[in-house]
Amino acid sequence: MMNKKPLLLLYRLAKIREDQAMARARIASSKVNQTIEMKNQVLEYAKDYEKQMMESGTESLSVAFLQDANAFREKLIHSSIQLEGEIQGLTRSSEGTLKNAMQARMRTLGLGKLVNKIKHQERVTEVKKELNEFEESYIGRMKIKTGTKDA
């Protein structure tokens, strides 16, 4: 039978590593979501500026103001394009992190099954041992002549 203590130690270590990998995956996923949110917000700002420019076309505003507003809108759009590249990089990184976390999870599951199997075998052995002791005790009592003989 396999020694249980080193296996339990490996299982605990695998569980810790799994928890750490899952935490890293959650953080990476959160960064991707935050960046996507930021990109969408930047695009909304750009749409708002465009809308304001269109509405101000009917009013008499200076050309310089319109040019500045348009330049800022274009900077926002350019920023969203840069964020898209960042999102792609973060997504790839997040996928790799999630893959590592899943591998750690599989290792933990495998070790967990092995630990459970060993614990089950120990319980079965203990039950058999107790049953044998009970049988030996019972048989021992049956063989001993107890009581008094007829006088």
Q: Is the dihedral of CA 65, 69, 70, 72 positive or negative?
A: positive
> How many residues are listed for the chain in this entry?
151
Secondary structure letter of residue 60 according to DSSP: -
Secondary structure letter of residue 57 according to DSSP: T
Residue 18, amino acid: E
Q: Which helix (H) or strand (E) holds 111?
A: helix 63-143
Return the SS3 of 62. coil
Over the stretch 51-95, which tens digit does the pLDDT of each residue have? 877 777 666 667 777 788 888 889 989 999 999 999 999 999 999
Q: Which helix (H) or strand (E) holds 18?
A: helix 4-56
pLDDT(102) > 60:
yes
Of the chain, the percentage scoring pLDDT greater than 90 comes to: 60
